[in-house]
Chains A and B, each alone.
Chain A
């Protein structure tokens, strides 16, 4: 089983719809992140959380919200989807030790029409 699981893998939605992307991890890590990737570009940080009670905005948080339901679960919501939110979305987690790398899920491909 994957350490970081994202659902759904693919989603097509219409402008104005609310949508939630879910992420769960089995690594037991406290830190979780949501990134967005547009074609040919790197990963931009949307939100991050260092524990269940800690939520922080990243560089491109406008139009997004998150919920950290438990240590293992971190959901990303688009309250009213717009076409320029069409992208590949990645969830990731890392531990607190200096040797702990970032573990990514396999992504959710979102298309907003």
Chain B
């Protein structure tokens, strides 16, 4: 499975878009990019996933580069409740045999 690289932390102003980068340069053709977040010490929550096309749902948008070596999660209008640790992982669709990395700690400031 491909590994991912994320910045350890980032700040975002409330109401602004938050753009979270993720590098996955060794991703295989059948591996999906998934994003999860963990608020405080709760169980991680699924956000979005994609293979090669950009995806959007009610929570966020996922932009995957054409070569699939990196992606960006976009929270369009960050709120204080979006403060969390965000994990980017790559998998053969829903096969979670490997661990999650340390993720990006996102702090949304008023």
A: residues with CB less than 8 A from B are 4, 31, 33, 35, 40-45, 48, 56, 58-59, 88, 90, 92, 94-98, 100-107, 109
Contacts and interface: CB of A to CB of B under 8 A. Distances in A.
Contact of B99 (A35, A103, A107): A35
B44 interface: yes
Given A4-B43, A106-B43, A109-B41, A98 B99 contact: no
Nearest to B47: A101
A35 B102 CA distance: 14
A42 B87 contact: yes
Interface stretch (B11-19, B60-68, B70-78, B90-98): B90-98
Interface majority SS (helix, strand, loop, mixed), chain B? loop
A59 B49 CA distance: 24
A42 B41 contact: no
Interface of B: 32, 34, 36, 41-46, 49, 87, 93-94, 96-103
A111 to B, nearest CB: 13
A96 B98 CA distance: 17
Contact of B94 (A4, A44, A97): A97
A102 B46 contact: yes
A102 B44 contact: yes
Contacts of A4: 43
A43 B49 contact: no
B42 A106 contact: yes
Nearest to B49: A101
A40 B36 contact: no
19 contacts: A31-B94, A42-B99, A42-B100, A43-B87, A43-B100, A45-B97, A45-B99, A48-B96, A58-B99, A59-B98, A88-B41, A92-B43, A98-B32, A100-B94, A101-B46, A101-B49, A101-B94, A102-B44, A106-B42
